[in-house]
């Protein structure tokens, strides 16, 4: 589904090179639920933006659903992003002037989908997240947890192959966070492939696999945790 091999991302100025990711290796198979954790500045968000085709990488390879994305032009990347990837952001990223229905419908319009199919998909997605009765409300009229559910519905309406969640419970209280996490777990049980960046170890523990990022590199801690030993962390010395 998703495979990154020796991938690096370098930010350059005239005098400084900063590695956000260095020799980054990760494979996520179809149907997995993977939590990505790590300290601030470790490269988690950079990884997610590259995974979602929102940002290019400097070297290495990235295959998404068997396609080498480095060979794609901007139009092809945009098309894959719209058709195969769903995004859930910490800040919800809803359009305040649009209703709940219209917020969920926007990506489907970009896909050129017919109106009848758009309406059906939007209403099914809102029903799935328990907000069918709020479709004419605006984001400001909803709680934080409800806004995040709208964001999830927006992602689900496109039937994505891959769901990327960036701190999806970060702006929610504990009760709302638990509700959103339960919804993600339900989606995973139904076959969704989910990659979730989170700072919360309790939420990460509920995922199928836990990947830890340190200094722009990744270590899979699942096996070590199951064996009851400390995870091994490989650091890069510049």
**Strand-strand pairing, 217-220 and 209-214:** antiparallel
Ordered alpha helix ranges (H), 72-173: 74-84, 100-110, 115-128, 144-157
Predicted pLDDT at 220: 61
CATH number at 125 reads 3.40.50.300
pTM of the model: 0.85
> Higher pLDDT residue, 13 or 68?
68
Domain membership of residue 62 (yes or no) is no
Q: What is the tens place of the pLDDT at every residue in 16-67?
A: 899 999 999 999 999 999 999 999 889 999 999 999 999 999 999 999 999 9
pLDDT confidence bin for 13, thresholds 50/70/90 = confident
Predicted pLDDT at 219: 78
Total count of domains within the chain = 1
> Higher pLDDT residue, 234 or 16?
16
> Higher pLDDT residue, 222 or 70?
70
Domain membership of residue 227 (yes or no) is no
Q: What is the tens place of the pLDDT at every residue in 62-119?
A: 999 999 998 899 999 999 998 899 999 888 999 999 999 999 999 999 888 999 999 9
Give burial (CB, 10 Å; 0-12/13-18/19+) of 20: buried
Domain membership of residue 135 (yes or no) is yes
Residue 111 CB neighbours (<10 A)? 13
Domain membership of residue 91 (yes or no) is yes
Q: What is the tens place of the pLDDT at every residue in 151-189?
A: 999 999 988 989 999 999 888 888 888 888 998 999 899
**What is the extent of the structural domain holding 140?**
30-53+72-210
Distance CA 58, CA 91 (A): 28
- Indicate the SS3 state at residue 173: coil
Q: Say what angle helices 100-110 and 144-157 make with each other, to 10 degrees.
A: 30
Domain membership of residue 220 (yes or no) is no
Predicted pLDDT at 170: 85
Strand partners, 10: 19
Domain membership of residue 40 (yes or no) is yes
């Amino acid at each position: 589904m998703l495979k990154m091999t020796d991938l690096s991302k370098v930010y350059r100025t005239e005098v400084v090179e900063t590695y956000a990711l260095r020799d980054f290796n990760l494979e996520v198979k179809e149907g997995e639920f993977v939590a990505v954790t790590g300290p601030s500045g470790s490269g988690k968000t950079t990884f997610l933006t590259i995974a979602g085709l929102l940002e290019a990488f400097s070297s290495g390879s990235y295959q998404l659903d068997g396609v080498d994305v480095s060979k794609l032009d901007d139009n092809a990347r945009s098309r894959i992003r719209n058709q195969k990837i769903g995004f859930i952001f910490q800040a919800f990223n809803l359009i305040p002037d649009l209703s709940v229905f219209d917020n969920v419908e926007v990506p489907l319009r970009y896909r050129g989908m017919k109106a009848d199919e758009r309406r059906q998909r939007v209403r099914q997605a809102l029903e799935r997240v328990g907000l069918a009765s709020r479709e004419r409300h605006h984001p400001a009229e909803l709680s934080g947890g409800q806004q995040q559910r709208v964001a999830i519905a927006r992602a689900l309406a496109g039937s994505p192959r891959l769901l990327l969640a960036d701190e999806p419970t970060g702006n929610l209280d504990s009760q709302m966070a638990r509700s959103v996490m339960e919804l993600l777990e339900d989606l995973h049980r139904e076959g969704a492939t989910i990659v979730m960046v989170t700072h919360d170890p309790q939420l990460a523990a509920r995922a199928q696999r836990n990947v830890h990022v340190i200094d722009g590199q990744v270590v899979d801690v699942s096996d070590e945790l199951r064996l009851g030993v400390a995870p091994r962390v490989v650091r890069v010395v510049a």
